[in-house]
A and B are shown apart, each in its own frame.
Chain A
Amino acid sequence: EVVLVQSGAEVKKPGESLKISCKGSGYSFTTYWIGWVRQMPGKGLEWMGMIYPDDSDTIYSPSFEGQVTISADKSINTAYLQTSSLKASDTAMYYCARRSDYGDYSSFDIWGQGTAVSVSS
């Protein structure tokens, strides 16, 4: 079964850093792009960026470039989303998702279960 499993919920204070993970299994992890999507409480989906694990080629949404770092360790089939100096406005659910091989650059066919991040003093 093709699965993406994300790390557990995080509770952080403003100014702290965060690194969440997304581990793939059941498919060739290195040859599919992995994207990250933010969903703030009660709000819509926002595409943050994506990484190609085989060579760590990374693309960022202009809205998130410089604010987050996406990385991957292909030896353990895991992608990461990292941010430093958290703010309360970073409180959100973060999803990782596999870009499909359907030939549609916008489609993500496998999603992780989400990682809830809460930032509060």
Chain B
Amino acid sequence: QSALTQPPSASGSPGQSVTVSCTGTSSDIGRYNYVSWYQQHPGKAPKLILYGVSKRPSGVPDRFSGSKSGNTASLTVSGLQAEDEADYYCCSYAGSNNRVFGTGTKVTVL
């Protein structure tokens, strides 16, 4: 099972929006609406920010949104804030009880 493909980096100025893509295959993202996103600050454990493609756990700001089209899922962070600077990972169920993470994207707030 290959890792889902994410761009290595993305950036935006404070207040702007940034979108991170996560490309898989018809066996994972394309087949299931089980896509989650994680935010990881340096030296910290990952934090769940989206599940089920576009749902937010309690406490996650509505600046974080998600979508999916075909084999690609996307995370959009609107109204960028300094604290949004972090690494972001997608994860998808891949069938047969398997899960696969994305390669990760470093988001920089300019």
Is A26 interfacial (CB-CB < 8 Å)?
A: no
Q: Which of A49-106 contact B (CB under 8 A)?
A: 59, 61-63, 95, 97, 100, 102-106
B11 → A minimal CB distance (Å)? 19
Instruction: Indicate whether A44 sits within 8 Å of B91 (C-beta atoms), given known contacts A100-B48, A106-B51, A108-B48.
Output: no
A61 B98 Cβ-Cβ under 8 A: yes
Interface residues of A (CB under 8 A from B): 35, 37, 44-47, 59, 61-63, 95, 97, 100, 102-109, 111-114
A62 B98 Cβ-Cβ under 8 A: yes
- Count of CB-CB pairs between chains A and B under 8 Å: 83
Which residues of A sit under 8 angstroms from B99, Cβ to Cβ?
A: 35, 47, 61, 105-106
Interface residues of B (CB under 8 A from A): 1, 3, 32-36, 38, 40, 45-48, 51-52, 55, 57, 89, 91-93, 97-104
Closest to B48 in A: A109
Residue among B1, B101, B102 making CB contact with A62, cutoff 8 Å: B1
Instruction: Indicate whether A95 sits within 8 Å of B51 (C-beta atoms), given known contacts A44-B104, A106-B99.
Output: no
Q: Give the 5 A-B CB pairs with smallest separation, nearest first.
A: A107-B51, A107-B36, A44-B104, A111-B45, A105-B93
Instruction: Indicate whether A95 sits within 8 Å of B101 (C-beta atoms), given known contacts A45-B38, A106-B34.
Output: no
- Complex CA gap A108/B7 in Å reads 22
A63 B35 Cβ-Cβ under 8 A: no
Instruction: Indicate whether A45 sits within 8 Å of B51 (C-beta atoms), given known contacts A61-B98, A106-B36, A111-B46.
Output: no
